[in-house]
Amino acid sequence: MELRVTERVSKIRWIFLPLGMCALVAVGTHAAADVVGDKVLFAVDRVDAFFDAIFSSWSVTAPLVDLVGLGERTFFARAVALAWELSADALLAIPLLGYDERAAADELTIARVLVKRRPSLRLVQPAAALLVSIAGAAAVARLLQGTLLHYPLIGGFVAATALFGLFLLLAPRAVFRSLEHASAQKTAIGLLGLAILGPLAIAAVASL
Amino acid sequence: MKPRLPLVELVLCALCLWAAWYHTPAGALVRTAGAWVFRTHTTARPLLAYYGAGTLVPPPEHALPLPGPVPPAQALAYGAFAVRADLGSPPAIASRLRSLAQTLHSEDAAALALFCGEETAHYAMEHAGSQPHLIDLARALPPSKTCVSQAAQALMLGGAYALAWPLPESVRITSPFGMREHPLLGGRRLHAGVDLGVMKGAPVRAVADGIVRRASSDGVNGRILVVDHGGGVVTSYCHNDELLVGDGDHVRRGQMIARSGNTGRSTGPHLHYQLDLGGEPVDPLRFRAQRPKTAVGASD
């Protein structure tokens, strides 16, 4: 009976594994973008002060200074964080849907070959996938533990198991698929990836 | 190829999908699109509401009318009472908050305990490090907890009730908060703060502890300081003659931060003092029992 269930589940791995990896990375990018949002607000304040100084120089443009208040600046900062997160999802999470599973040994061999390829800019995407996956695994574990906060022992056990499982079973595959996908990309996308994913990967570490 | 732990993988993937579906803006986007295609109802929040762990909230529509001066120790209690009147009288809430703060070693955690329960606050404290703010505590909890938003509003209002005044109480208001005929540009516009008629060079003091978010100069606001006091409480001080602190500086309540002046678009020496709660300008007098007198004078 148990074997039959396992067999049935095995048959649909091709759909749930890519979806799960995509979701794991999406959770990680959100955790990172939430950290980025606070920093963006400070940057938006600086940019607003710069434009206020320019626009206030002429009476025609002076009313524009009052156009952007604190509420608008906060809204804009959050919107930037959202756009950043969705761009990272497009670069990092969506390609994971194309994951085609192979034997673990084969995946390792392919990964070794791909890592040695030049330019090394291609490694930005898999490196970001690794950090974001870890942040995602931690966020999922935190959510589980928080949901079960009234049952601390069970919550702690479930969260630790999920963290361990995600780190061991899903994160390496996400990194492999990112490496595979990045290797097939043009360098221009690699540069774009660096600009978008670099700060987010650092923020992912800060979110832990 | 032999699959590795398929059932475990299925459960892990389901957990990731649950987390992404309910707790990320990308999930909300897919849910909203799905609801639009299938013409069904969705519980997805607005996309930007997924940031700040539910602590980025607007101020409540109405604030509690104050019967008299709010004792600083009871400011948070008044804030909590304004959010949920069924919690008891402000002095009773203050006593409960004091006992919670003693147990939890944090005012933010005490507010969280008041709205979400002690067990939840203890759990959040264990997972948020030492001396955490509400946002750190909230990040340890599932984002769907609506009580976090209530605690955030209480802390915001409590912060507003606890604010001091930037100038001596005797300084008169020359233009109050609200819609008015603009003295320089004409037309009806919202005056987002209060103008306090004061001579050039008078010391302007921080109304609470905070971090200077902006110290800049432009032709409209003149020399302007924006101070973030945390919890969504931000104050601005415009038309100063001289700024005594810079970007990123920490300021203490009562610290001299500027000298008032007549810089920018102004009809004479005065201080434009503005209070923003949750990113929206509100009348700072709403949170003060003692109201300065009004007088005809300089404005912006």
Answer for the pair A18, A98: CB distance below 8 angstroms, yes or no.
yes
Q: Which residue has the tokens 């997805």?
A: B44
**CB contact (8 A) between residue A101 and residue B1:** yes
Residue B3 has pLDDT above 60, yes or no: no
Nearest residue of A to residue B264, measured between CA atoms = A56
Distance CA A172, CA A137 (A): 12
pLDDT digits (tens, 9 = 90+) for B76-108: 999 898 888 888 888 899 999 999 999 888 888
Residue B2 has pLDDT above 60, yes or no: no
Answer for the pair B214, A49: CB distance below 8 angstroms, yes or no.
yes
E strands, chain B, where?
173-175, 178-181, 188-191, 194-197, 203-205, 210-218, 222-228, 233-243, 250-251, 256-260, 270-277, 280-282
Distance CA B83, CA B81 (A): 5
Q: What is the mean pLDDT of chain A?
A: 85
Among the listed residues B120, B12, B114, the one whose alpha carbon sits nearest the alpha carbon of residue A148: B120
Q: Which domains does chain B have, with CATH numbers?
A: 1-50 (no CATH), 56-161 (no CATH), 173-287 (2.70.70.10)
Higher pLDDT: A67 or B144? It is: A67
**CB contact (8 A) between residue A20 and residue B9:** yes
Residue B1 has pLDDT above 60, yes or no: no
Separation in Å, CA of A206 to nearest CA in chain B: 13
Distance CA B6, CA B16 (A): 15
pLDDT of residue A8: 79
In this predicted complex, what is the ipTM? Answer: 0.87
Distance CA B124, CA B151 (A): 13
Binned at pLDDT 50, 70 and 90, residue A4 comes out as confident
pLDDT of residue B212: 94
Q: Which among B142, B213, B279 has the least Cβ separation from residue A45?
A: B213
Amino acid letter for position B221: N
**CB contact (8 A) between residue A162 and residue B19:** no
Average pLDDT over every residue of B63-79? 79
**CB contact (8 A) between residue A142 and residue B140:** yes
Residue B202 is encoded by which pair of tokens?
A: 């008078």
Binned at pLDDT 50, 70 and 90, residue B145 comes out as low
Average pLDDT over every residue of A137-166? 90
Amino acid letter for position B110: A
**CB contact (8 A) between residue A56 and residue B264:** yes
Separation in Å, CA of B108 to nearest CA in chain A: 18
Average pLDDT over every residue of B262-268? 89
Distance CA A173, CA A25 (A): 11
What percentage of residues in chain B have a pLDDT greater than 90?
A: 44
pLDDT of residue A32: 92
pLDDT of residue A49: 85
Torsion from C-alpha of B87, B89, B92, B95, nearest 10 degrees: 90
pLDDT digits (tens, 9 = 90+) for B34-45: 999 998 888 888
**CB contact (8 A) between residue B47 and residue A82:** yes
Judging contacts by C-beta atoms under 8 Å, the chain A residues touching residue B56 are 74, 78
CA atoms within 13 A on the CB side of B57: 23
Residue B183 has pLDDT above 90, yes or no: no
Residue B270 has pLDDT above 90, yes or no: yes
Distance CA A40, CA B203 (A): 32
Average pLDDT over every residue of A115-136? 84
Binned at pLDDT 50, 70 and 90, residue A208 comes out as confident
Residue A87 has pLDDT above 90, yes or no: yes
Distance CA A132, CA A36 (A): 13
For residue A4, the surrounding DSSP H or E stretch is helix A2-11
Q: Mean pLDDT check: name the lowest of A73-77, B62-66, B100-104, B216-220.
A: B62-66
Residue A67 has pLDDT above 90, yes or no: no
Separation in Å, CA of A134 to nearest CA in chain B: 12
DSSP string, A86-131: HHHIIIIIGGGGG-----HHHHHHHHHHHHHSS-GGGGHHHHHHHH
Task: Tell whether the torsion through CA atoms of A199, A202, A206 and A208 is positive or negative.
Answer: positive
Distance CA B169, CA B176 (A): 15
Torsion from C-alpha of A41, A47, A51, A52, nearest 10 degrees: 40
| Residue B215 neighbours by CB distance under 10 Å | 22
pLDDT of residue A30: 93
pLDDT digits (tens, 9 = 90+) for A14-48: 888 899 999 999 999 999 998 888 788 888 888 88
Separation in Å, CA of B67 to nearest CA in chain A: 30
Amino acid letter for position B208: A
